[in-house]
Amino acid sequence: MRATRLLLVGILSLLVLTLAVPPQAQEVARYQVVDLGTLGGEQSHANAINDRGHVVGWAETGEQTAEGVAIQRAFLWSSEDGIRDLGTLGGASSAAHDLSNRGDVVGSADGANSRYAFRWSRDQGMLSLVEQTGYFSEFPSEALAINERGEIAGYRVVPGPMKRAVVWKDDDTRFVPRVHDSRANDINEAGEAVGDGDPPFTALIAFRWSRGRVSYPMRRDRRTGGCWSEARGINNRGEVVGRACAGAIHWRRGRVTRLPMPAGDRLSTAMRLNEQGQVVGWSKNLPTMRRA
């Protein structure tokens, strides 16, 4: 679980820091914008950054599939090596979603039969988290987050078909119980995962999975219990952020706090938070574009 995920997150963090320092300190603050480039195409997208400043995401190669779709490849960028194509699992495209401080990268890539969750390392390259098991290998999967212990959160599609939130650890695949059509969006260093799905009793609802048990942080709150909800991020203190009732929320020690939106906006989502409880996300004034 990385405290800083999106390129937009970096921008918002700068705004938060600027507002927190006195005017005289603001005058000497300097920030540098680095163009990470592409892999030969026109577009690229950064999804995560680790404490060493390494960045992952996807970038266009300038090539197209037989159907005319632009080919995108997962990349790893560093100031030492620049942008590096991480390849695929035998198909055309891939995307990287997160990385650890050790440099392990997770995401999804096209394979022989479907699109599979992967883990990439400098020693082993890109390995499928699903394909080698043969278990529902014809269905898609995606890895969305990794912690420093190597535990990976994401989802697998199973017969139905439906998504099932999973946590991968080494060769073990653990499905999150009691939640269907679900995904695990983030995981902290204690192995606690958060996501969203459809339990038997309601529509889409945020869940927290810890030590084999599932809880629903928003279900008992009187302000959000009647709404659909989703959990997007969790820090090492167990605080959770996401969305409920069309607004960004912060859940801490059993209490749900609604986070304010910029004036005029009507929809917001909190995406990640750090160990200090600082939260980042986006909001929008329907039907205009979103902003960080």
pLDDT band at 93 (very low <50, low <70, confident <90, very high): very high
The pLDDT score that the predictor gives to residue 10 is 34
- Residue 69, domain member (yes or no): yes
The pLDDT score that the predictor gives to residue 181 is 87
Share of the chain above pLDDT 70, in %: 80
Mean pLDDT of the 5-14 span: 33
Give the integer Cα–Cα distance in Å for 74 and 109: 8
The total of structural domains in the chain comes to 1
The pLDDT score that the predictor gives to residue 124 is 94
Of 56, 80, 84, 61, whose CA–CA distance to 72 is shortest? 61
The pLDDT score that the predictor gives to residue 266 is 86
The pLDDT score that the predictor gives to residue 11 is 31
- Residue 51, domain member (yes or no): yes
> Has residue 2 got a pLDDT over 60?
no
Lookup result for tokens 């898609």: 140
Mean pLDDT of the 155-159 span: 91
Task: Specify the CATH number for the domain of residue 159.
Answer: 2.130.10.150
The pLDDT score that the predictor gives to residue 19 is 30
Q: Answer with the residue of higher pLDDT: 1 or 23.
A: 1
Mean pLDDT of the 213-229 span: 69
- Residue 169, domain member (yes or no): yes
> Has residue 28 got a pLDDT over 80?
no
Query: What is each CA distance from 240 to 17, 183, 271, 290, in whole angstroms?
Result: 22, 15, 10, 22
Are 233 and 194 in contact, with CB atoms under 8 Å apart?
yes
pLDDT band at 209 (very low <50, low <70, confident <90, very high): very high
| 128 CB neighbour count, 10 Å cutoff | 19
The pLDDT score that the predictor gives to residue 64 is 96
Q: Answer with the residue of higher pLDDT: 129 or 16.
A: 129
- Residue 138, domain member (yes or no): yes
Looking at every residue in the chain, the average pLDDT score rounds to 83
> Has residue 21 got a pLDDT over 90?
no
Report the chain's C-alpha Rg in angstroms.
19
Mean pLDDT of the 242-270 span: 87
**β-strand pairing of 70-78 with 44-49:** unpaired
- Residue 155, domain member (yes or no): yes
Give the integer Cα–Cα distance in Å for 91 and 142: 15
- Residue 265, domain member (yes or no): no
Lookup result for tokens 């960045």: 55
- Residue 59, domain member (yes or no): yes
Give the integer Cα–Cα distance in Å for 48 and 77: 10
Mean pLDDT of the 179-194 span: 93
The pLDDT score that the predictor gives to residue 245 is 83
Write the pLDDT tens digit of every residue in 97-134. 999 999 999 999 999 889 999 999 999 999 999 865 65
Write the pLDDT tens digit of every residue in 46-64. 999 899 999 999 999 999 9
Q: How far from chain centre, in Å, is Cα 182?
A: 14
> Has residue 204 got a pLDDT over 70?
yes
The pLDDT score that the predictor gives to residue 135 is 62
- Residue 191, domain member (yes or no): no
Are 106 and 117 in contact, with CB atoms under 8 Å apart?
yes
Range of the domain at 145: 34-175
